[in-house]
Amino acid sequence: MEQRAFEGEIEYIQVMDETGNVDQSLFPKDLDDQKILEMYKYMLFARANDAKTLSLQRQGRAVTYAPLLGEEATQIGSAYAMRKQDIFVPNFRQHGVFLMRGLPLEWMYLYWRGYEEQLPKDVNGEAIIVPVATQMPHAVGMAYAQTYKKKDAVVIVYVGDGGTSEGDFYEALNFAGVWKVPLVVIIENNQWAISLPRGKQSAAKTLAQKAFAAGIGGVQVDGNDVIAVYKATKDAIDKAKTGPTVVECVTYRLGMHTTADDPTKYRPDAEVEIWERRDPLARVKAYLVRKGLWNDQMEKETSEQQSKEIDDAVERAEQFKEDPRSIFTNVYSFVPQTLQDELDDAEKNNFWQEGGK
């Protein structure tokens, strides 16, 4: 006897093409042009915020930074699909997601000045996570907890193409599949893991198909198409009660890996130019302009207003006086006696005053 033991397919979805034309048959019913306009403004904001942080880093006013340039549609489209109660778990490049979730801007600039704090609770997300893919098992545990506590919340976790090669990624998916946790995995496939190209990362044709080994469904979308990303994330959130989904967003890191990297050393300009022509913002702008909902004057005014908001936030961040006690008080949800003793000792010895012991 011979029969097929497993069959699986990965769909690729693009709703808006590079010129701004929309495939109406795929257009999500709950989206309209006003919402697309709103997403576009967030994408502009994410790009402006990114450029500002990069420039601050170059001036010595921010620490090492991982730019998001080129990945705006993946981040804004997925974050736009989240509901208030949903929880996001980033890695280190999802500044656009933080922005959409309403994290006060100065919070981001404080972080990039080296001040790591817990996020305000209503943002409903985790702080930046640098060790690659370690966020995956945590996110699965958080998703499991939502079911356990009978909460109507979905966990949306982000991981890079490089992250999908880590043991943590597979272990997390395995658990998520067995326990059918309410989880959406956004693979932000930006084609590079520092200097390692996607072609050398995995021999798998798609990264989404890695879901199959864990008994999970997967889909691949044009990650530079904000509508396709929104649609796939929304569909995955809608069905998260029945189990997890992996959404691979095919996008491109137009800039450097971090400010400590120089991509001209390992990738050809011609490749970057191809992806520049697939700019995630340009196609939405073309769509909105054609509909008479946007023009250069509106873009200029919006950019000026966003720049002002950004500059004000930078100023607030640079004037912020940090409280060193948070090193002790923000480690756990409560302060254990051992840390309280250390804090008391630090206070007694004037630890954080110049000349303290």
Question: Is 257 among the catalytic positions?
Answer: yes
Question: Is 138 among the catalytic positions?
Answer: no
Q: Of 12, 58, 266, 290, which one is the catalytic site residue? A: 266
Q: Which residues contact 47 (CB under 8 A, 6 or more apart)?
A: 69, 72, 281
Residue of minimal Cβ distance to Mg ion = 160
Site map 135..164 versus ligand TPP, x via CB under 6 A: -------------------------xxxx-
Kindly report the number of other CB atoms within 10 A of residue 98's CB atom.
Answer: 25
Cα 37 from Cα 287, distance rounded (Å): 10
CA dihedral 189, 76, 135, 182 (to 10 degrees): -100
In a 13 Å sphere around the CA of 329, the CA atoms on its Cβ side amount to 6
Give strand ranges (E) for the chain. 12-13, 87-89, 155-160, 183-189, 192-193, 196-197, 217-222, 245-250
Residue 63 Cβ vs ligand TPP, minimum distance, rounded to whole Å: 14
Residue 183 or 207: which CB sits closer to Mg ion?
Answer: 207
Tokens of 208: 């989404």
Q: Does 160 bind Mg ion (CB under 5 A)?
A: yes
The CA–CA distances, whole Å, from 208 to 9, 62, 204 equal 10, 35, 9
Q: Of 93, 257, 278, 283, which one is the catalytic site residue? A: 257
Q: Does 194 bind ligand TPP (CB under 6 A)?
A: yes
Residue with tokens 């939405």: 284
Q: Does 192 bind ligand TPP (CB under 6 A)?
A: yes
Residues 190-229 that bind Mg ion (CB under 5 A): 190, 193
Kindly tell me which residue out of 41, 47, 52, 257 binds ligand TPP, with binding defined by CB under 6 A: 257
Integer-rounded Cα radius of gyration of the chain: 21
Residue 134 Cβ vs Mg ion, minimum distance, rounded to whole Å: 16
Q: Does 94 bind Mg ion (CB under 5 A)?
A: no
31 binds, among ligand TPP, Mg ion, none (CB under 5 to 8 A by kind): none
Backbone angles phi, psi at 100, to 5 degrees: -65, -30
Residue 163 or 244: which CB sits closer to ligand TPP?
Answer: 163
Question: Is 266 among the catalytic positions?
Answer: yes
Q: Of 47, 93, 95, 253, which one is the catalytic site residue? A: 253
Residue 180 Cβ vs ligand TPP, minimum distance, rounded to whole Å: 26
Cα 226 from Cα 222, distance rounded (Å): 8
Binding residues for Mg ion, per CB under 5 A? 160-161, 190, 193
- Catalogue the active-site residues: 253, 257, 266
